[in-house]
């Protein structure tokens, strides 16, 4: 009886440990669906550009064409969909797109970065990103960090 209870507790703990991965997969799935505007199961360069522009506009809360640390650090524009007020995407914009390291990202810097990211993820160079290519691109980025 005690062994069975320990197995059940262990299984529950493993299940809880897997929850963030499941939520993360759903988040990536939602992002893919949002960017796949025509619903054909792949993201074109144009769809990727439009999705990146939407994301930038979300964080550019004062609509001045720049995203600053203050805009990413809190407030409605930086809030995650889970309501936590913290944004991994906003931090990504600052960390990955600030070409001149001035603490802000302009529309131009963000567009250049988005274009580069599309090229990097389009592994077979067919002009589209599939779910598998996007997942592999995110995994490569995670493995580098």
Q: What CATH number is given to the structural domain containing 73?
A: 1.10.238
Task: Tell me the range of 14-18, 87-91, 97-101 where mean pLDDT is highest.
Answer: 97-101
The yes-or-no verdict on residue 134 having pLDDT over 50 is yes
Q: Residue 16 has what pLDDT?
A: 35
Q: Kindly state the helix (H) or strand (E) to which residue 122 belongs, with its residue range.
A: none
User: Is 93 a residue whose pLDDT tops 90?
Assistant: no
Residue 56 lies in a domain: yes
Specify if 16 maps to a domain: no
The answer to the question of residue 103 being in a domain is: yes
pLDDT band at 73 (very low <50, low <70, confident <90, very high): confident
DSSP E strands in the chain: the ranges are 42-44, 66-68, 104-106, 128-130
Split into its structural domains, the chain has a count of 1
Structure tokens at 7: 């197995």
What is the torsion angle, in degrees rounded to the nearest 10, for the CA atoms of residue 134, residue 136, residue 142 and residue 145?
-110
Mean pLDDT value of segment 98-109: 92
- Does residue 117 lie in a domain region? yes
Residue 82 falls within a domain, yes or no?
yes
Better-scored residue on pLDDT, 121 or 18: 121
Provide the domain limits for residue 32.
28-144
CA 87 centroid distance within chain: 10
Q: Please report whether residue 104 resides in a domain.
A: yes
Q: Which residue has the higher pLDDT, 26 or 123?
A: 123
Confirm whether 131 is domain-assigned: yes
């Amino acid at each position: 009886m005690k062994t069975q209870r320990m197995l059940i507790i262990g299984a529950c703990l493993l299940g809880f440990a897997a929850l963030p991965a499941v939520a993360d997969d759903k988040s990536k799935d939602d992002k893919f669906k949002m960017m796949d505007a025509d619903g054909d199961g792949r993201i074109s360069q144009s769809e990727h550009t439009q999705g990146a522009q939407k994301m930038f506009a979300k964080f550019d809360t004062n609509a001045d064409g720049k995203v600053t640390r203050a805009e990413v650090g809190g407030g409605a524009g930086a809030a995650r969909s889970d309501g936590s007020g913290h944004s991994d995407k906003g931090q990504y914009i600052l960390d990955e797109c600030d070409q001149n390291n001035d603490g802000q990202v302009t529309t131009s810097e963000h567009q250049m970065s988005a274009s580069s990211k599309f090229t990097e993820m389009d592994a077979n160079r067919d002009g589209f990103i599939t779910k598998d290519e996007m997942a592999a691109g995110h995994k490569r980025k995670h493995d580098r960090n």
